[in-house]
């Protein structure tokens, strides 16, 4: 099968995305204690929801 | 702000034809397959054949008054990053072979764990390495190695990264 040069072709794309992610991470780190607590609670709630999720179908 | 509401919104995007299909990847997929972890944003791989379709997706949310910051679209206050399939055949493959998942009565798709590891091998930040190490005991190693071979570059970057993690486990 022909090799698809994924890494090379999308380098610029990932640079832009990673930069945006870093900005978001920094923003979250400097947010208030109250907001951090709200985010932590949301993550706990989402994690519990995902624990109850189940796979219905999967490609072989 | 709950994940379920965001997924309902993603399903609506599909019904309305704004996107053709989607699969969740990133930190939320890691949480689904493995362990609770800190992640702020939701990564969604989407089938959008052209760049115009990608811009139309942003326009759709802009018209609805959604907050858009950098590449993030805030859905139900959750920052969502969309990864269009025209960027990479790997995204295509990840969406095409994703798992259909029931989330308390709401159907959605998550990339399969082998594709998730492959996507993490491409980004390969320190936290991605930790995530991969946690996920390795959940993958079909034969399938993962076939995918690495299929999507690797001529320097075998992904394979080398994979081997370096196997050596460390």
From B70's Cα to the closest Cα of chain A, the distance in A is 6
Residue A1 is predicted with a pLDDT of 34
CB–CB contact A20 B81 (8 Å): yes
Asked if residue B130 has pLDDT above 80, the reply is yes
Asked if residue A2 has pLDDT above 70, the reply is no
* Confidence band for B75, pLDDT divided at 50, 70 and 90: very high
| Closest-CA residue to A38 (of B9, B127, B26, B40) | B40
Residue A8 is predicted with a pLDDT of 47
Domain boundaries B3-111, corresponding CATH code: 3.30.460.40
CATH 3.30.460.40 in chain B, residues? 3-111
The Cα–Cα gap between B97 and A35 comes to 37
Q: What value does the mean pLDDT of chain B take?
A: 93
Least confident among A4-18, B1-15, B54-68, B89-103: A4-18
From B31's Cα to the closest Cα of chain A, the distance in A is 7
Count helices and strands (H / E) in chain B: 8, 7
The Cα–Cα gap between A12 and A18 comes to 10
Specify whether the CB–CB gap between B103 and B34 falls below 8 A. Answer: no
Q: Which tops the pLDDT comparison, B45 or A39?
A: B45
């Amino acid at each position: 099968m022909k090799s698809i040069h994924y890494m090379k072709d999308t380098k610029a794309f990932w640079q832009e995305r990673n930069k945006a992610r870093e900005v978001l991470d920094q923003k979250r780190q400097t947010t208030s204690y109250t907001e951090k607590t709200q985010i932590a609670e949301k993550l706990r709630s989402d994690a519990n929801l995902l624990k109850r999720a189940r796979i219905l179908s999967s490609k072989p | 702000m709950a994940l379920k509401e965001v997924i309902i919104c993603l399903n609506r995007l599909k019904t309305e034809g704004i996107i053709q299909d989607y699969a969740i990847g990133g930190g939320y997929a890691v949480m689904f397959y493995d362990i609770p972890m800190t992640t702020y944003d939701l990564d969604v791989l989407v089938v959008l054949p052209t760049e115009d379709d990608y811009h139309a997706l942003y326009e759709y949310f802009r018209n609805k008054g959604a907050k858009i910051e950098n590449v993030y679209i805030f859905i139900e206050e959750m920052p969502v990053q969309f990864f269009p399939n025209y960027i990479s055949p790997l995204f295509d493959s990840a969406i095409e072979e994703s798992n259909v998942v029931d989330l308390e009565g709401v159907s959605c798709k998550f990339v399969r764990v082998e594709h998730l590891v492959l996507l993490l091998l491409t980004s390969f930040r320190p936290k991605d390495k930790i995530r991969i190490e946690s996920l390795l005991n959940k993958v079909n190693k034969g399938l993962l190695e076939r995918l690495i071979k299929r999507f690797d570059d001529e320097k075998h970057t992904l394979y080398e990264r994979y081997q370096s993690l196997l050596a460390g486990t």
